[in-house]
Structure 1
Amino acid sequence: MDAAAAGAEFWVETGHDRLHARCWPVPDAGPARPPIVLLHDSLGCVALWRNFPGRLAAATGRRVIAYDRLGFGRSDPHPGRLGPGFVLEEAKGGLAAVLARFGIGEFVAFGHSIGAGMAIAAASARSGTCRGVISESAQALVEERTLAGIRAAQRQFAQPGQMARLERYHGAKAAWVLDAWTGTWLSPEWAGWNLDAELRAASCPILAIHGEGDEYGSARHPERIAALAGGPVTVRLLPRCGHVPHREQEADVLQAVAAFLA
């Protein structure tokens, strides 16, 4: 990956910890538009977005910013376990610090998987400045398909050598990252979790992208988003697509996002 594709590197001080971030500028300078902030999935980080942020900037004519949440990627370690309110808290914590570091007022939140839940939470918590949400493979409630997929992944990571896949991106924090995903979702305290309140309070337009073959969630999730959101929702179901549309069907995702933001 060349320097332009990787984006420019930044560090975000939260007052207690440092978060790692990268920024991809608009290739051809034009009218200033609210930038897109990327929120990664449960095992994700900036590096795992790969070349997508640069291509997203080119397709939309908007600056794109991605950051590693606390405990993930190159950001500082998390001091403990994720609490039951961590999805909403990210909008008021790490995301708020990133917006302040880059001097961002209005923005568009683009989240993948649980990051999509955080994008919706950001729209509810920052209704005056979040101008739109791209929800990709969102989990809006606890569904048995999601839990079955997580149990299967848990068994896979228990096999010899599998943790090295996470260590490549999260280093010594890899075991914490895996437990933050599996331990949270499979805990009894998480069984009744949903995004209902955040959806009702989200008044900005939402684009809900979901793969029909998503192994971590059925079409119930975008359907729930469309039914409960306080603003207009466009649902885009992608055939022959799993949990990572921006990698599996990148061209379709870029086209959908560019049309939505136009």
Structure 2
Amino acid sequence: MSDASLTLDGRRIEARLWGEITADAPTIVMLHEGLGSVSLWRDFPAHLAAATGGAVFAYSRFGYGLSDPVPLPRPLTYMHDEALAILPRVLEAAGIRRTILLGHSDGASIALIHAGGMQNFSLRGLILIAPHLFVEDISVASIEAARDAYETTDLPARLARHHRDPGNAFWGWNDAWLDPGFRAWRIDEYVPTIRVPMLAFQGSDDEYGTAAQLRPLETDSYCPVATHLVAGARHTPHLTHEAVVLALIAPFVARIRALE
């Protein structure tokens, strides 16, 4: 692992790189969840790099990890803003010319918006873990529970181990999702315009979403898509059921790289 941190418009973005970025093979770029960061991927990036034999790049979005904070409240378009405005600049600044996007939760939604909302001819595939394509009651209930935990437990201290400004990270995510206007948020309209293969995972016991999130991928995609419901997994199947997830990701990545 090496430090690959970037500066955009004078603002720091924390980033790490496993392996070496090359011009002839796609780099897996990791997009974290709504309360995630580089460090909250834990050992998964290293294991992913070993399983796929290629480079893995992870960064903390503004407001997360050791990246610079953002003004609050976040706009309800924050995932669109990241996908269409910031992510392309991160890829360019990091020198990544071919990429497979791997996103978890909010990060998976950002990957979908990016793939379906703009032309990125360097994009080769999507790996989606617990993607949100629309808002479900179970999502809102769990995010309300997270707010209560932040206000009544040691959650702020635990988040402080991974975020330079845990309040900026937490309230930027929590306030947006619990805004009444966010109930109308959905991104399944982007699925038919995606032009790369997709691999998607959902935990059978995910507290933030149900298998219904996978249905638009299965019914509306014009590109190859494989979906997997991971039995017994909650919102982080890549951590709790890592071997299962990696066993499916490795051949998916190998097939894409074979075409380069």
Equivalent-residue separation in structure 2 for 1:45 and 1:200 (angstroms):
30
Structure 1 window deviating more from structure 2 (152-161 vs 248-257): it is 152-161
Alignment of 1:134-149 (within 5 A): 134-149=127-142
Equivalent-residue separation in structure 2 for 1:170 and 1:30 (angstroms):
30
Equivalent-residue separation in structure 1 for 2:73 and 2:89 (angstroms):
20
Alignment correspondent of 1:181:
173
Aligned-partner residue type, residue 149 of structure 1: S
Alignment of 1:1-262 (within 5 A): 7-25=1-19, 32-124=24-116, 125-171=118-164, 173-262=165-254
Name the count of aligned residue pairs: 253
Gaps of 5+ in 2: 255-260
Equivalent-residue separation in structure 2 for 1:160 and 1:239 (angstroms):
30
* TM-score where L is the length of structure 1: 0.91
SS in structure 2 of the partner of residue 234 of structure 1? strand
Decide whether the 8 Å contact of 2:18 with 2:46 is kept in 1: yes
Percent of aligned positions that are identical: 35
RMSD value, Cα: 1.8
SS in structure 2 of the partner of residue 45 of structure 1? coil
Once the two structures are TM-superposed, the CA of residue 191 in structure 1 deviates from its matched residue by 0.9
Aligned-partner residue type, residue 198 of structure 2: I
* TM-score where L is the length of structure 2: 0.92
Structure 1 window deviating more from structure 2 (87-96 vs 236-245): it is 87-96
SS in structure 1 of the partner of residue 142 of structure 2? helix
- CA gap of 1:31–1:193, structure 2 versus 1, over 3 A, is closer
Aligned-partner residue type, residue 196 of structure 2: C
Once the two structures are TM-superposed, the CA of residue 108 in structure 1 deviates from its matched residue by 0.3
Decide whether the 8 Å contact of 1:14 with 1:94 is kept in 2: no
SS in structure 1 of the partner of residue 152 of structure 2? coil
SS in structure 1 of the partner of residue 5 of structure 2? strand
